[in-house]
Structure 1
């Protein structure tokens, strides 16, 4: 299992207890993993995920917040959109309307992304956590530092950057094919985001690897510096020996002052 998968496995198990955080979690999962299509005049929800636990988590949240007593079925119809697999959620049409209404209530005035969660830090943490589950990834810290979110629009990138900045985490953006990517390459800020998302086990593993890499780099720098100094000393000594040999061949070595001559002979 990759480090990114380990982080996600840890985050899947975190279920918010308060209703406002549950709504934030549902909003993130539906915004970034959900797809609603109309079939025979009725709205049908699809969820993009390869983890049954993530689908079950969304259902649990919907059951707690909206009292929807339907489950997800991995055996039902699948839908492929732009190379991605979406699994159909077994939710009745009347319940789907309640979900869509609740989802609209979480959006801001532009309709683009969730509102500012009434300034609640816990809801911001929850939204970032569930968003990472849907569209996030992080590289193995043994190989390098890189965390990213593959967003579908510039509005999503703006919102995510603004959300992370509220925790003093500064991300950058780039365009990659059809995605707008929000990314972080500094180890300290990746660690901060893991802490914000409450991936504490993964954070410890990440920090341990950071310490190991920092120590290894420090040792390598010291060894390289010492090797360079030894090489420089050897080159200088070789030049001095050659000069002394030239003085000796010309018979000028004995004309040097006594202390200097003794040093030259010793060399």
Structure 2
């Protein structure tokens, strides 16, 4: 079951939330569903509970049921589509009247008070909302083919959460959020607090995982640099051995050169502790640089012929 499917299930099952503002939620469902005019009142959804809620809302609020049909359309291996429609023209007229659609169909039902906005937005999300899997990305969107409805929804969202981003995709007007905090706030607002908490938990785990990965990558990079540096130092010392022996080096460098040859994995601090007398890490680093410079001078002179 997808994250979006779980959210819509939670909203449909949140009886205290939807019963307090049943009409406002139904307004959102009807307005942002498929059709809401004299010729058709219908919705197509992949969610069985959304389809049932759509039909029940009309029955409860308008008092009709005989001409409401709910049909499951199977699509092979894919998820079924549930189609709900009001068949009778007289019943469609009753629904339009009950929800305040005027005779010219220019007015859409809107929340009667600020307290009803969350339920209206909840119905809009059930009808046309979608959300990505938070394990992959943070993205919640509303999609409608009606420009005037998109403008209304944008205004309501901006007043409740924050102004959403807007774009057009094919024939749809889209409003969307990509900030996890805004998505969490919206899910809580529209009656899906458990899903909001789930998103928060996913975000926390992802943040911790990213921190661990960054620390691991940093540690790996440091180890790689240390190993590469030690390999270069050993190559320098072996060149010195082959060119005349470690005894060619100044006396204070000879012990360190032998230690490095026998302890390729030793850190600068560990090398310094094993010297007699011990010296600091910076002192070891300085002496190794002198050994490197000595080797570079040998390379610059090239092979010596007798």
Mapping of residues 98-109 of structure 1, within 5 Å: 98-104=94-100
1:123 aligns with 2:153: no
The correspondence for 1:245, drawn from 217, 229, 238, is 238
**8 Å Cα contact 2:111/2:120 also seen in 1:** no
Q: Does 1:88 align with 2:90?
A: no
RMSD: 3.1
Contact 1:113/1:155 (<8 A) preserved:
no
Whole-angstrom CA distance in 2 between matches of 1:236 and 1:112? 75
**Which structure 2 residues correspond to residues 62-211 of structure 1 after superposition, within 5 A?**
62-66=58-62, 68-70=63-65, 72-74=68-70, 86-89=83-86, 93=90, 95-104=91-100, 111=106, 114-115=109-110, 117-118=112-113, 120=114, 122-211=115-204
User: 1:86: Cα distance to partner?
Assistant: 4.3
Question: Do the aligned residues in 1 keep the contact of 2:8 with 2:50 (CA within 8 Å)?
Answer: no
- The range that moved more, 186-195 or 124-133, is 186-195
Provide the C-alpha distance between the structure 2 equivalents of 1:253 and 1:114, rounded to a whole number of angstroms: 91
SS in structure 2 at match of 1:166: helix
Note the 1:11-90 alignment, pairs <5 A: 11-15=11-15, 16-18=18-20, 21-36=21-36, 38=38, 44-66=40-62, 68-70=63-65, 72-74=68-70, 86-89=83-86
For 2:253 and 2:163, how far apart are their aligned partners in 1?
Answer: 62
Find the aligned partners of 1:75 and 1:153 in 2 and give their Cα distance.
25
Deviation at 1:140, TM superposition (A): 1.9
Deviation at 1:28, TM superposition (A): 0.9
My pick for the range that moved more, 8-17 or 231-240, is 8-17
TM normalised by structure 2 equals 0.68
Q: Check conservation: 1:164, 1:171, Cα contact below 8 A.
A: yes
1:163 match: secondary structure: helix
Highest Rg: 1 or 2? 2
Q: Which runs of 5+ in 1 are unaligned?
A: 77-83
Give the structure 1 partner of residue 256 of structure 2: 263
Counterpart Cα distance in 2 of 1:220 and 1:31: 46
Contact 1:174 1:182 in 2 (8 A): yes
Aligned length: 247
